[in-house]
């Protein structure tokens, strides 16, 4: 059984490498520096008096609906549809002279993706906003967190503009999806390779 499993994994790895779009991770325009720790990626950009970090994790970042629909309609010889990784991401804006950072929790709404052609709508939304002490590893649940569900739309628009002024806009979000998808695929191939060595080792 293990031999067959290892053989299957070898084929699978070769297939995945064939469809891998990026041999190295795509860059994000606008002077963001990328750090990757396993499945977590962090983008950092400094502008006058501020440091902006965007953090996301590729785990569970592929929407489930994509997989269910394809099972039924797929004809045997069709290419599998491309999976896209749309992770939630956290934007932290740190001003040099304060001890607080503004934290905005953003996500890609599932129904928004793929509706191009409508008026310039944002492809991501802000879900929560809070202040957190700068440099704390664990953010406190005791800090007030603003949920945007019931937010005055004018305030919400200002928050979106605030992000856009710092380089977090639709272009950034598109590039983030591209980066995340490449990273997810890279990790998946690595996982298959690790699984293969694990299965083979007697």
Q: Is residue 23 part of a domain?
A: yes
User: E strands within the chain?
Assistant: 33-37, 40-47, 50-57, 89-95, 100-107, 125-133, 145-147
pLDDT in tens, 181-201: 999 999 999 999 999 999 987
Q: Is residue 71 part of a domain?
A: no
Q: Is residue 68 part of a domain?
A: no
User: CATH code at 176?
Assistant: 3.10.280.10
Q: Is residue 159 part of a domain?
A: yes
Total domains, the chain = 1
**Residue 27: domain span:** 1-59+83-109+122-197
Q: Please give the order of strands across the beta sheet that includes 125-133.
A: 33-37, 40-47, 50-57, 89-95, 100-107, 125-133, 145-147
Q: Is residue 89 part of a domain?
A: yes
Q: Is residue 149 part of a domain?
A: yes
pLDDT value of residue 56: 97
pLDDT in tens, 34-55: 999 999 999 999 998 999 999 9
């Amino acid at each position: 059984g293990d031999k067959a499993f290892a053989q299957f994994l070898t084929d699978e790895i070769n297939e995945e490498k064939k469809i891998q779009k990026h041999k190295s991770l795509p860059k994000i325009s606008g002077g963001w520096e990328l750090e990757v720790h396993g499945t977590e990626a962090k983008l950092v950009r400094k502008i006058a008096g501020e440091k902006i970090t965007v953090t996301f994790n590729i785990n569970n970042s592929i929407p489930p609906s994509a997989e269910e629909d394809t099972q039924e309609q797929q004809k045997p010889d069709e290419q599998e549809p491309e999976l896209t990784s749309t992770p939630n991401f956290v934007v932290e804006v740190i001003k040099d002279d304060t001890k607080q950072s503004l934290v905005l929790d953003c996500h890609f709404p599932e129904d928004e993706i793929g509706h191009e052609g409508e008026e310039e709508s944002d492809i991501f939304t802000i879900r929560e906003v809070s202040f957190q002490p700068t440099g704390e590893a664990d953010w406190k649940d005791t800090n007030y967190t603003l949920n945007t569900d019931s937010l005055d739309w004018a305030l919400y628009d200002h928050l979106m503009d605030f992000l856009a002024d710092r380089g977090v806009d639709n272009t950034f979000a598109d590039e983030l999806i591209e980066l995340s998808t490449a990273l997810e695929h890279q990790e998946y191939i690595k996982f298959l390779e690790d699984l293969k060595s694990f299965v083979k080792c007697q």
